Amino acid sequence: MDIPEGFPDMPIPEDNQLTEDRVALGKQLFYDMRLSRQSDVSCASCHLQERAFADQNILSIGTQERVGFRNVPSLANIGYHPYLFREGGGISLETQVLGPLEAEDEMDFNMVEAVERLSQFPDYQEQAQTAYGRPFSAFVLSRALAAFQRTLISGNSAFDQDQRGELALSEAAARGLQLFTSEKTNCQNCHDGFDFSNYAFENNGLYEQYNDTGRSRVTFQDSDIGKFKVPSLRNVALTPPYMHDGSLSDLESVIEHYNTGGKAHVNKSSLIRPLGLSDDEKSDLIEFLKSLSDNCFISNPDFAIE
């Protein structure tokens, strides 16, 4: 795997070390519609490479056009996330696959039947033997999908090229970066590090009343209402609309949200407060966010199926 400069080593489980065969099998599965009961939806139906493995719907749309309850997140650098899903309810890529597979508004299938169905294909049996030395099974299915997803690394945006001294950011984007890291905005307090996320759970003041209560769905604590995993901002310009429910349609609306300081909520982070940004400062911030788009990532043939 090509780990970009400045990225840490990725934690990979002992029993699922990456090999080319495992990743190839995982890619095959990621694009296979037969993983849904009606064979009408694959992982890639919602996680599109040209959208950095997110999509552009407000809420996800699954089998038979069923509308889900959250906006589809990007899978770029997903192998680094310490927990999965917007409220952190998923513990590993290996176990996460049960989520979409069984959700009625996503693939509406189950592991037993999915394995039964795919086991009938000699290609999958052969690939399972080569990759994991055993017949096609839930073990193979979940591990191969995890292996493929760990290769989805994005670290070659204009921002990265600037950091490596290969290409300078535009002046507007450079000013935006300054603002992003300044105490005037506090953006970097949460969107920090190589992936522009500290992976903490925060309430950024989207609502006074949350229909989707976020982290508290897992912890049952009132103090976690309205808290969501801080999303990575890599490729963010490619993945509108924004937030857990897709309620903000573009980057302009996001910057406006932060500039006003958001809605009042007891759990809102004290870092979210009116910023007093000028129009020029707002557009500089947006130019900086656009510099996080990684064209190599979204056009890398290794992640696509012929």
Residues interacting with ligand HEC, by CB under 6 A? Answer: 35, 41, 43, 45-47, 60, 62, 68, 70, 72-73, 75, 78, 81, 84-86, 93, 96-97, 100-101, 106-107, 145, 149, 185-187, 189-191, 202, 204, 206, 228, 230-231, 233, 236, 239, 242-244, 254, 258, 269, 271-272, 285
Residue 80 C-beta: closest distance to ligand HEC, Å: 10
Q: At closest approach, how far in Å is the CB of 133 from ligand HEC?
A: 23
Q: Which helix (H) or strand (E) holds 139?
A: helix 138-150
56-84 in b/e form (b: 16+ CB < 10 A) is eebbbbbbeeeebebbbbbbbbbbbbeeb
Nearer to ligand HEC, 47 or 265 (CB): 47
| Smaller CB separation from ligand HEC, 66 or 165 | 66
CB of 94 to ligand HEC, least distance (A): 10
205 token code pair: 């003041």
Nearest to ligand HEC of 81, 175 (CB atom) = 81
Contact 47, 84 (CB under 8 A): no
Shortest gap between Cβ of 76 and ligand HEC (angstroms)?
Answer: 10
In terms of Cβ atoms closer than 10 Å to its own Cβ (0-12, 13-18, 19+), residue 165 is: exposed
For residue 268 the two structure tokens come to 């809102």
Q: Give the whole-angstrom CA distance, residue 201 versus residue 213.
A: 12
Nearest-10 crossing angle of helices 279-290, 171-180: 100
Nearer to ligand HEC, 166 or 224 (CB): 224
- Whose structure tokens read 């099998």? 25
> CB count, 10 Å around CB of 23?
20
By C-beta, is 16 or 149 nearer to ligand HEC? 149
Shortest distance, position 164 Cβ to ligand HEC, whole Å: 23
Nearer to ligand HEC, 164 or 189 (CB): 189
Complex with ligand HEC: residue 38 or 166, whichever CB lies closer: 38
What is the per-residue DSSP string for 39-94?
A: S---HHHHSBGGGTTB-S-SS-B-GGG-B-SSPPPP-TTGGG-SSBSTTS-B--HH
3-class SS at 225?
A: coil
Query: Shortest distance, CB of residue 257 to ligand HEC, whole angstroms?
Result: 8
Between 82 and 165, name the residue whose CB sits nearer to ligand HEC.
82
Q: 3-state SS of the chain: helix, strand, coil percent to 5?
A: 45, 5, 50
